[in-house]
Structure 1
Amino acid sequence: MAPVDFDVVLEKSNELETRFLQNPKNDLQELQKIVQEQEHALRFPSVSYSDCYTLGEIIRRLYSQARYTAPIVIDITINGHQVFHLAFDGSSPDNDAFIKRKYATVNRFHMSSFRMGLMMSDSKTTISTKYNVPEGDYGAFGGGFPLTLTSGVQIGVICVSGLRQVQDHCIIVRAVAQLLQNGPAASK
């Protein structure tokens, strides 16, 4: 796998967020391409529970620095085992329900829930119609991201719920890029 230019990943994340917030129905195929590139670039050589804790803390710090006003919930799962979960004051069980739906989408389709949502919008359909899955169990909207090894094997899911869907997605991307740039503990 070629070395990742994390500055480019972050630049594209900012572009994705800006473009989507300006017009969420514009350039859906180009936005899908950006998200797919993020998914491919942001892979781990290995992942420990300690890495997941660090990743959760990076998301917490990025959230606090951005001074968002909506509360969030952060959830990281490896092989079906929840290894990090943080709920901010003001969040609710609704956030956890959204996380379950995002998790189910990423886990089943092996792509970010945001890319799935972009694909469904582009196809003018819904995940429940296209894949015959219960709408209440799957979420085709931003905030679920695959935790994937460089081998291509997905071993977990990272979720954020509470912000606008593109913001949920981008805060995960920024945190993963930052962790990988600094080197996860498992790879040291």
Structure 2
Amino acid sequence: MSRPTTPEEIAVLIHRIEDEERRLRLPHFDNDDAWRLGTLLVELARAENAPVAIDIRRNGQQLFHCALPGSSADNDAWLLRKTRTVDRYGCSSYLVGLRFAAKGETFEEKSRLDPDTYAAHGGAFPVTVEGVGVVGTVAVSGLPQADDHRLVVTALERHLAAS
């Protein structure tokens, strides 16, 4: 997935991610669901030899974490920053960054949030329960932001299909 550069490409990507967020709503989300989703993400990442760290949270509690070979403590810091962005804005960290870019702005300059605490880069996605709303996050760090995002979306799609 190439990086969008034109306003049209950014708009198309924003629309696609908004659609993903509408589609990828879970019927429920408990500790066992987090384990199944997390292990699915590990399998997908291993199949790609992806050097990622994975984090799944519900209401601020970490339910799943895995650091695959090639990842580092830096990835854990990125996970926290991207997760905080989802918690604050209620949508994926990639979408937040793209919405700023669509206005010709950067998240770091215009959000007035500490960039050491928040990151609007792809890879963190809201865990949304149908009829309830956002209850947590699933996040990946270690690949380019579009690939982090894609890995999470693929896992959520497969998790939903298996539910």
Counterpart residue number, 2:151: 171
**Structure 1, residues 39-76: CA drift from partner, whole Å, max 9, x if none?**
111001111111111101111111122233xx110000
How far apart are 1:170 and its partner, in Å? 0.6
Return the alpha-carbon distance in structure 1 between the equivalents of residues 92 and 22 of structure 2.
Answer: 11
Structure 2 letter corresponding to 1:149 = V
Return the alpha-carbon distance in structure 2 between the equivalents of residues 130 and 93 of structure 1.
Answer: 27
Q: Does 1:49 align with 2:31?
A: yes
What is the aligned residue count?
A: 161
Return the alpha-carbon distance in structure 1 between the equivalents of residues 89 and 37 of structure 2.
Answer: 23
Structure 1 letter corresponding to 2:38 = G
Q: Structure 1 length as normaliser, TM-score?
A: 0.82
* CA-based RMSD: 1.2
How far apart are 1:136 and its partner, in Å? 1.4
Percent of pairs identical after alignment? Answer: 35
Return the alpha-carbon distance in structure 2 between the equivalents of residues 143 and 152 of structure 1.
Answer: 23
Return the alpha-carbon distance in structure 2 between the equivalents of residues 121 and 136 of structure 1.
Answer: 19
Unmatched tracts of structure 1, length 5 or more: 1-17, 184-188
Match of 1:104 among 84, 91, 96: 84
Counterpart residue number, 1:36: 18
Unmatched tracts of structure 2, length 5 or more: none
Return the alpha-carbon distance in structure 1 between the equivalents of residues 108 and 101 of structure 2.
Answer: 13
How far apart are 1:152 and its partner, in Å? 5.0
